[in-house]
Amino acid sequence: MQSTSKTIVQTENLGMQVASPEGQLDILNDINFSILEGETLAVIGVSGSGKSTLLGLMAGLDVPTQGRVILDGTDLNGLDEDGRARMRNQRVGFVFQSFQLLASLTALENVMLPMELAGTRDPESEARNRLAEVGLAERLQHYPNQLSGGEQQRVAIARAFAGDPKILFADEPTGNLDQKTAQQVIDLLFKLNRERRTTLVLVTHDPTIADHCDRSLTLAGGRIISTT
């Protein structure tokens, strides 16, 4: 951890309420913390503690009902959906539990996609390199349903790093994988993260994975109960 680094994510009084048959339901309440550039942070907690909601708000995938998120110096509340999309495209990478690859595109096309959306020149050779880095140089033209779960998650990791994002959000990245594959994926994720000096925010309920991170933030009932 570098103490001189600047803050890349800052949450201020962040809260999220949703309507339910029983009235307003607090998903997140009064969340205040910050993440420094290059830092790795694990968000841990039991199921329903609000981990994924927090990740979604930090990445600008949803808007909070209270408070704000400042991502790389920009207040996300001040952006419309297109503005947030631009922000995600330029600075954010994602790895999801259920891989979230586009089934109609090949592995290569999936990795090319964020770069194409950003208008990057020659996205194809960049995507080839990324896939080679995750060990899938031989699987370029395969469709997601032709790949194993571990391979699909490696494609997702290659895609996440494709646009050289500043920050990577990973939501239970090993949740759908067996233990051995999960370990390989985690090793790969952290290796690339180190090499690219990316900030990593990782949502998990697995303490051993959290141990790989610089810091941990524990949520319970929508509130931060501890930071280590």
Partner 1 sequence: MKFIRQCLQTLHRDWRSGELRLIAIAVIIAVASLTSVHFFTDRVRQATETRATELLAADLVVGSPDPIAAEVISQARTAGLTTTLTTGFRSVVIAGEKMQMAEVKAVEAGYPIRGKLRIAASLFGDEMITDDLPEPGTVWADSRLLQALDLEIGDNLNLGASQLAITRILTYEPDRGGDLFNIGPRLLMHQTDLPTTQLILPGSRVQYRLLIGGDMDTVQTFRDAVEQQYQRQLRIQSIRDARPELKTALERAEQFLGLAALVSVALAGLAVAMSAQRYAVRHFDHCAIMRCLGAEQATITKLYLTQLLILSISASLIGSGLGYLAQAGLSALAAGFMQDALPAPSLRPIAIGLATGIITVLGFAMPQILRLRNVTPLRVLRRDLEPLPIKNKTTYLFAIIALALMTPWQSGNFRLTFFVFFGMLATGLVLTLCTHLLINWLNRLRSRVGVAYRYGLANIARRKNQSVSQILSIGLGVMVMLLLTLIRTDLLENWRDRLPLDTPNYFLINIQPDQVDALQVYLQRHGAQPSAMNVMIRARLAAINGKTIAPDNYANEESRRRADRNFNLTWAAELRKSNKLVAGTWWDENSTGQVEFSLEEEIARELGVNLHDRLTFTISGQEVTGKVTSIRWIDWDSFDVNFFVVANPGALDGYPGTWVTSLYLPPEQRSLVIELVRTFPSVTVIDVDAIVNQVRIIMDQVIRTVEFVFGFTLLAGLVVLLAALQTTHDERIRESALLSALGANRKQILASLIAEFLCLGLAAGVLAAFAASIIEAVLAEFVFRMEIVINPWVWLIAPLICLLLIVSGGLIGTRKVLKTPPIVALRNG
Binding site for partner 1 (CB under 8 A): 52-53, 56, 59, 61-63, 81-82, 85-90, 92, 94, 96, 98, 100, 102-105, 109, 113-114, 116-118, 143, 145, 149, 159, 163, 176
- Kindly state the smallest distance separating residue 78's Cβ from partner 1, in Å: 16
- For 130, the token pair is 């990324």
- For 184, the token pair is 């390989």
- Strand pairing report for 167-171 and 40-45: unpaired
Phi/psi for 174 (5° steps) reads -110, 5
**184 Cβ neighbours under 8 A, 6+ residues apart:** 150
User: Of 112 and 189, which CB lies nearer to partner 1 in the complex structure?
Assistant: 112
User: Of 178 and 187, which CB lies nearer to partner 1 in the complex structure?
Assistant: 178
User: Of 88 and 130, which CB lies nearer to partner 1 in the complex structure?
Assistant: 88
User: Of 17 and 176, which CB lies nearer to partner 1 in the complex structure?
Assistant: 176
- Kindly state the smallest distance separating residue 81's Cβ from partner 1, in Å: 7
- Kindly state the smallest distance separating residue 101's Cβ from partner 1, in Å: 8
89 vs 223: CA distance, rounded Å: 29
User: Of 82 and 138, which CB lies nearer to partner 1 in the complex structure?
Assistant: 82
- Kindly state the smallest distance separating residue 4's Cβ from partner 1, in Å: 29
109 vs 40: CA distance, rounded Å: 29
User: Of 36 and 177, which CB lies nearer to partner 1 in the complex structure?
Assistant: 177
Cα–Cα separations (whole angstroms), residue 80 to 64, 77, 117, 203: 13, 8, 18, 25
- Kindly state the smallest distance separating residue 102's Cβ from partner 1, in Å: 6
- Kindly state the smallest distance separating residue 168's Cβ from partner 1, in Å: 13
Q: Which secondary-structure segment (H or E) carries 132?
A: helix 123-133
Q: Are 138 and 186 in contact (CB under 8 A)?
A: no
Mapping DSSP to helix (H, G, I), strand (E, B) and coil, where does residue 63 land? coil
Radius of gyration over every alpha carbon of the chain, rounded to an integer in angstroms: 17
